[in-house]
Amino acid sequence: MRDLVFKNLTSLEKKRKIITSCEIMDKQGLRSIVRRHFICIVKEIKDTHVEKPLSSLSVLKERNHQKQIERFVLRIKGSVYAINNEKLYLVLFMHSLNISLSPSPLVKYNPT
């Protein structure tokens, strides 16, 4: 069984775009949940001496043998400058990936 939820939220007045997806899959006794988030914000830069924010990358891997759960989280934050119609823009973005693995919930068999 596989469930997929996809959202695309765009705000023109805030110049922001958010894309999210969540995929849940049960296969052979294993449940995997994959969540992805992408956020992008565009700001027009009037002053050329604006300092760009620092980029960052974080990775987390977690394993719990007692609960039989495994988790992986990745976050990337960054920014780039872009020029369009002789205007300078700062594009800020953040991407995250969250993967969780666990045993599937037990399905009770009820013969009737």
Supply the pTM of this predicted model: 0.75
Tell me what pLDDT residue 47 has.
80
Bridge partners (DSSP) listed for residue 78? 93
List Cα–Cα distances, 1 to 20, 47, 67, in angstroms: 20, 53, 22
Tell me what pLDDT residue 108 has.
44
In a domain, 109, yes or no: no
In a domain, 86, yes or no: yes
State the Cα–Cα distance between residues 104 and 34, nearest whole angstrom: 15
Can you give the residue range of the structural domain that contains 31?
Answer: 2-103
In a domain, 10, yes or no: yes
* Single-letter amino acid, residue 36: R
Domain count, the chain: 1
In a domain, 65, yes or no: yes
Tell me what pLDDT residue 111 has.
47
Q: Which positions of the chain have pLDDT values less than 70? A: 1-2, 106-112
Per-chain mean pLDDT for the chain: 86
In a domain, 108, yes or no: no
Model confidence over 18-32: pLDDT tens digits?
999 999 998 888 899
In a domain, 93, yes or no: yes
In a domain, 110, yes or no: no
Q: If DSSP states are collapsed to H, E and C, what string results for 19-55?
A: EEEEEEEEECCEEEEEEEEEEEEEEEECCCCCCCCCC
CA atoms within 13 A on the CB side of 6: 1
Which residue in this structure is represented by tokens 């992805």? Answer: 36
In a domain, 23, yes or no: yes
